[in-house]
């Protein structure tokens, strides 16, 4: 992942709020309007922080001492992926069966990759300081397989 993406996300979140503060306020505006703009900017920054945290690059270097934060952030990433997969599955449940064989194969590949990822996460939760790096590397590989399987799944479910 490009290291500029978190910066771009932050800029995208702060940009509209900055425009409100700089260009949208006149001398006649009340302090309430200014406070609303500050609140909107703060909310945008919080949303961007969550988006930035939900990437592998943001957690890949966590040490054993930060294992609790790693697990929490990774669980959030996994839940997001599971939510996307459930939404795609629901959307495609009524789709024509012309490519159902490809969809079924892609779904099985994704399900297998997710199951492997869950097993690697279980291993990571049982890791010691000495085995943390190896267990985390296995989680990284499993996460890459899930992402590749997701790409195949979305491709198989694309409209013909």
By CB atoms closer than 10 A (0-12, 13-18, 19+), residue 158 is exposed
Residue 41, pLDDT > 50, answer no
Do 46 and 68 have their domain in common? no
Do 89 and 143 have their domain in common? yes
Residue-wise pLDDT for 78-88, tens only, equals 899 889 988 88
Do 77 and 146 have their domain in common? yes
Do 43 and 68 have their domain in common? no
Q: Residue 26's domain spans which residues?
A: 4-53
**Quick check: pTM over 0.75?**
no
Residue-wise pLDDT for 128-149, tens only, equals 999 999 999 999 999 999 999 9
Would the CA dihedral through 102, 107, 110, 115 be positive or negative?
Answer: negative
Total domains in the chain come to: 2
């Amino acid at each position: 992942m490009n290291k500029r993406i978190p910066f771009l996300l932050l800029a995208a979140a702060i940009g509209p709020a900055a425009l409100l503060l700089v260009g949208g306020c006149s001398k006649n505006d009340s302090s309430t309007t200014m406070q609303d703009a500050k609140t909107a900017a703060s909310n945008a920054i919080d949303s961007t922080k969550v988006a930035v945290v939900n990437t592998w690059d943001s957690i890949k270097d966590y040490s054993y001492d930060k294992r609790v934060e790693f697990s929490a952030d990774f669980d959030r990433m996994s839940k997001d992926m599971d939510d996307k997969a459930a939404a795609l599955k629901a959307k495609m449940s009524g789709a024509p069966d012309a490519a159902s064989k490809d969809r079924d194969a892609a779904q099985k590949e994704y399900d297998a990759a997710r199951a492997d990822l869950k097993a690697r996460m279980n291993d990571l939760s049982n890791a010691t300081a000495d085995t943390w790096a190896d267990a985390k590397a296995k989680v990284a590989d499993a996460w890459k397989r899930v992402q590749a399987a997701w790409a195949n799944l979305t491709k198989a479910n694309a409209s013909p």
